[in-house]
Structure 1
């Protein structure tokens, strides 16, 4: 009897640790199974509030790396202002994101969470896109309202809406996944340095679809979330 009770206790402890959400920067947040019941205070506890900057939280990255997540004036957006290539704040499967951003409701419910992966090559962008296709099927293709006709891909599931877009890291935003695929069909032997990209991964709580897709103005990474209408 005592042995069974001990096994039950170990199982309870294991499950509670497995489901524990750590503050941003103190663990790698799993976006694949992200729970929209997660509280904002779990991700940004008061102890991480910056002593030097108003309405900001200190995000610890790799070793001594630090960045700030700034809260918008109306308290709805948590936007990470900077990050480093070796930071690992969130993941989807084996893909790593160096930055995490949120939009929250007036009662602090998470409407949408975003992961940003930067300094990645073409194959990493394609691998992420192919992984999403394998898991969720063929996406709906949209045109991003921000940038030069960027392709924005959407997967609608019962408990979440996923969006994905990639950009070229030369400030032109001119080369996206569609153009990567087309370029790979050509024989390019120019010897030019391999370009680097960023991709933006969004998970939307379906309860807030109308609010996020129709009523909001965006800033930061969320500029890439909306489609042209």
Structure 2
């Protein structure tokens, strides 16, 4: 009987420790196909060229070189998140979880860069994540970027890829947050929240010149 209880307890512990399925970023395969992440099975029902993974909605957009109006040449396809939930775990690196993904491919579908976003993260978590990557890949080169606000970029150079990690301070200044008090019959604006948002970029080295500093919108623009 005691043995049965122990087996039951072990089974419950294993169930409790089971992690939510997610895209594994550690040793990420940059040769994987687009259909690994978005395909006909998760196409968004309302709009064309949109996909849904859990709560995240991703839009596909062909980017042209823009050199000559009327004769632009397509250079890549961006898959960018349009909305996501902080509750979702879409990707993971070790024990660190990310809520959304973005990526870009060549016109023929080869991955150029894969990005994951942690929508809200503490300073301590970002420091621990940098320590993890420093331990795994060697000490990062830290530089400073600037888009609306300055932010730090940590870069690791590997044989076949470049990994970048950016931590950006965000706030809800663009959103109107109000609180209704039924007892006092008043409505007042709630204090805006400031928080950190983190981005990891895994860049295929052969496309580095076409990716780093070349993205102009969405979460990919912090890849600098």
User: Is TM (by shorter chain) over 0.5?
Assistant: yes
Which of the two has greater strand per residue? Answer: 2
Which of the two has greater helix per residue? Answer: 1
2:221 to 202, 210, 223: 223
Equivalent runs, 1:1-229 vs 2, <5 Å: 27-60=21-54, 66-74=55-63, 76-170=77-171, 196-213=195-212, 216-226=214-224
Q: What is the distance in 2 between the residues matched to 1:154 and 1:163?
A: 5
Q: What is the distance in 2 between the residues matched to 1:211 and 1:138?
A: 25
Q: What is the distance in 1 between the residues matched to 2:169 and 2:121?
A: 10
Q: What is the distance in 2 between the residues matched to 1:82 and 1:68?
A: 5
2:7 matched residue in structure 1? none
Cα distance change, pair 195–131 in 1 and its aligned pair in 2 (3 A): farther
| Contact 1:79–1:100 under 8 Å retained in 2 | yes
Equivalences, count: 175
TM-score scaled by structure 2? 0.72
Secondary structure of 1:84's aligned partner: coil
List gaps (5 residues or longer) in structure 2: 1-19, 64-75, 174-192
After superposing on structure 2, the runs of 4+ consecutive aligned residues of structure 1 that deviate more than 2 Å are 145-149
How large is the Cα RMSD of the aligned pairs?
A: 2.1
Query: Higher Cα Rg: structure 1 or 2?
Result: 2
Q: CA deviation at 1:30?
A: 0.4
List gaps (5 residues or longer) in structure 1: 1-25, 61-65, 173-193
